[in-house]
Amino acid sequence: MGAYDAVIEIPRNSKIKYEVDHGTGRVFLDRILFTPMGYPTNYGFFENTLGEDGDPLDVLVLLDQDLMPGILAKVRPVGVLKMVDEAGGDDKVVAVLAKDPRWAHIQDVDDIPEYTKNEIGHFFEHYKDLEPNKWVKVDQWANAAEAERLVSEAFVRFEEHEGETRTQGEGESPNTLD
């Protein structure tokens, strides 16, 4: 299993949904959750990836410390929470710090305590409950091999998208008037 860079957007236990502006790299306030609960893990995305929803692939980092928004953490995928929301597929890869011996025993989704998985599933089933026209359906947990596959595909999707963007932009000036 590989180790990948994850950009943390939201600390564990926070009700504040921060996002990183991918153009500037700055962290901004997206919204405060409408429900009275905080994120059960540190939350972010894998750098240089695109998920099926067109956003960078989401990652939940299991850790007993709160990480600051904007930091980069080297993580190792151990499972996936398969889910969909009003915008389509929105899987959450679950990961641990790649080189932290306290998390070395977590190698696959079955190594994650059942209660921890229940907390994570419950949060994502309900965190949009009070938001108009939003919904989430949590499907199932998948293993580390599936997590690795999703991350690999997201890197490829990012590269293909970047290639298309460069090809479309060749010979065009952003300051040209039609």
CA 60 – CA 2 distance, rounded (Å): 16
Instruction: Tell me what pLDDT residue 167 has.
Output: 55
Tokens, residue 134: 């939003």
CA 98 – CA 151 distance, rounded (Å): 15
Apex CA 59: angle with CA 55 and CA 63, to 5°?
A: 155
Which one, of 91, 86, 84, 82, lies nearest residue 134 by Cα? 86
- pLDDT tens for residues 113-148? 999 999 999 999 999 999 999 999 999 999 999 999
- The residue extents of the domains of the chain are 4-166
Is the pLDDT assigned to residue 176 strictly greater than 50?
no
Residues tagged active-site = 90
Residue ranges of the binding site? 9, 17, 31, 43, 53, 58, 85, 90, 127
Residue ranges of the binding site for substrate? 17, 31, 43, 127
pTM for the model: 0.88
Topology (CATH) of 4-166: Inorganic Pyrophosphatase (3.90.80)
CA 26 – CA 28 distance, rounded (Å): 6
